[in-house]
């Protein structure tokens, strides 16, 4: 099938269906064929794979995925796009379009309906909900093999950085606990219709079978991490003891820091993932 990943073809389809781009759904459609190939190549989709695509738009990437995958499940929130997808995907019998908000969809049931085969997630994500989507995929109980996504360049950077940098935060730590991030390429605004104001990047998250650090209770560690970065300017001892839901006293935190040979005035943004895991285990014994 002739690709629709060009400005002319996309404009034609949009006009034919009187489709109005909706900013609130983060609709910036990919109109660059070579970039599309690059994303789909980097996802390493094969005829064995079940692909979950979030936000197919007019089906540009869906077509390319359907050519390579065993099956594609495409979840689109905007019902105005459903008749368009019917048309652009009519040649493919291995695509299921679900008209739903990805954050409301029962992913566990969807996975069970596919015998629990780990999904390869591929998406040009709507930027207004990038982090909630990534967290749902990482922290949910759905088997996922890899997540290849287009995001804002700045968000891709946040996923990869380590301690001591301004972009380091809860997202960096969550991504690096569950996956090995690999930057594929940066993508200029000209590759989209309409053009976004910011540069984008494609990043591939290869999910670990076993996380790189061991911790007794990962969800407690992430509560601790979130509390540390909510109070970014405070020392860890002040920030964590100030977070009532953790139930920690200042003394418990400083004692744990001492046992880790860390200064009392240390801030969360300088701790590695391993150190957060160690801290969580130490304070949990006392909480």
Binding site for ligand SAM (CB under 6 A): 25-30, 54-57, 60-61, 75-78, 81, 101-103, 124, 126, 129
Q: How far is the CB of 124 from ligand SAM (least distance, A)?
A: 3
Instruction: Find all residues with CB under 8 Å of 218, minimum gap 6, and list them.
Output: 177, 211
Q: How far is the CB of 143 from ligand SAM (least distance, A)?
A: 20
Q: Quick check: helix, strand or coil at residue 29?
A: strand
Residue 157, CA atoms < 13 Å, CB-side half-sphere = 9
Query: What is the pairing mode between strands 95-99 and 71-76?
Result: parallel
Which residues are 124's β-sheet partners? Answer: 150
Specify the residue, 58 or 236, whose C-beta has the smaller distance to ligand SAM.
58
Specify the residue, 152 or 238, whose C-beta has the smaller distance to ligand SAM.
152
Specify the residue, 107 or 248, whose C-beta has the smaller distance to ligand SAM.
107
Q: How many CB atoms lie within 10 A of CB 190?
A: 11
Could you tell me if 82 and 88 are in contact, meaning their C-beta atoms sit under 8 angstroms apart?
no
Instruction: Find all residues with CB under 8 Å of 86, minimum gap 6, and list them.
Output: 97
Query: What is the pairing mode between strands 144-152 and 179-187?
Result: unpaired
Which residues are 73's β-sheet partners? Answer: 52, 96
Specify the residue, 147 or 248, whose C-beta has the smaller distance to ligand SAM.
147
Q: How far is the CB of 27 from ligand SAM (least distance, A)?
A: 5
What are residue 107's phi and psi, to 5 degrees?
Answer: -65, -30
Specify the residue, 28 or 254, whose C-beta has the smaller distance to ligand SAM.
28
Place of tokens 């910011």: 198
Specify the residue, 132 or 164, whose C-beta has the smaller distance to ligand SAM.
132
Cα separation of the two ends of the chain: 61
Q: How far is the CB of 38 from ligand SAM (least distance, A)?
A: 13
Specify the residue, 62 or 235, whose C-beta has the smaller distance to ligand SAM.
62
- With CB atoms as reference, the residue minimizing the distance to ligand SAM is 55
Q: How far is the CB of 47 from ligand SAM (least distance, A)?
A: 22
What's the CA gap between 282 and 245, in Å, rounded? 17
Q: How far is the CB of 144 from ligand SAM (least distance, A)?
A: 16
Q: How far is the CB of 21 from ligand SAM (least distance, A)?
A: 9
């Amino acid at each position: 099938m002739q690709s629709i990943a060009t400005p002319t073809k996309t404009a034609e389809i949009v006009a034919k269906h009187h489709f109005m781009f909706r900013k609130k759904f983060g609709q910036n459609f990919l109109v660059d064929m070579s970039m599309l190939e690059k994303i789909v190549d980097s996802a390493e989709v094969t005829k064995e794979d079940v692909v979950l695509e979030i936000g197919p738009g007019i089906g540009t990437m869906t077509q390319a995925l359907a050519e390579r995958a065993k099956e594609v499940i495409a979840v689109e929130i905007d019902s105005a796009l459903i008749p368009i997808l019917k048309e652009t995907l009519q040649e493919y019998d291995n695509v299921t379009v679900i008209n739903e908000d990805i954050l409301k969809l029962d992913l566990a049931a969807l996975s069970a309906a596919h015998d629990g085969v780990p999904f390869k997630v591929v998406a040009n994500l709507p930027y207004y909900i990038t982090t909630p989507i990534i967290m749902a995929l990482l922290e949910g109980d759905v088997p996922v093999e890899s997540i290849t996504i287009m995001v804002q360049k700045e968000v891709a950077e946040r996923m990869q950085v380590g301690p001591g940098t301004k972009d380091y935060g809860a997202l960096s730590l969550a991504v690096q606990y569950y996956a090995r991030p690999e930057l594929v390429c940066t993508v200029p605004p000209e590759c989209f219709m309409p053009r976004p104001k910011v540069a984008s990047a494609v990043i591939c998250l290869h999910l670990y079978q076993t996380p790189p650090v061991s911790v007794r209770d990962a969800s407690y560690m992430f509560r601790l991490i979130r509390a540390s970065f909510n109070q970014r300017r405070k020392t860890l001892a002040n920030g964590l003891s100030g977070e009532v839901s953790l139930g920690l006293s200042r003394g418990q935190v400083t004692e744990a820091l001492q046992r880790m040979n860390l200064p009392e005035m240390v801030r969360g943004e300088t701790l590695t993932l391993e150190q957060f895991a160690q801290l969580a285990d130490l304070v949990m014994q006392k909480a």
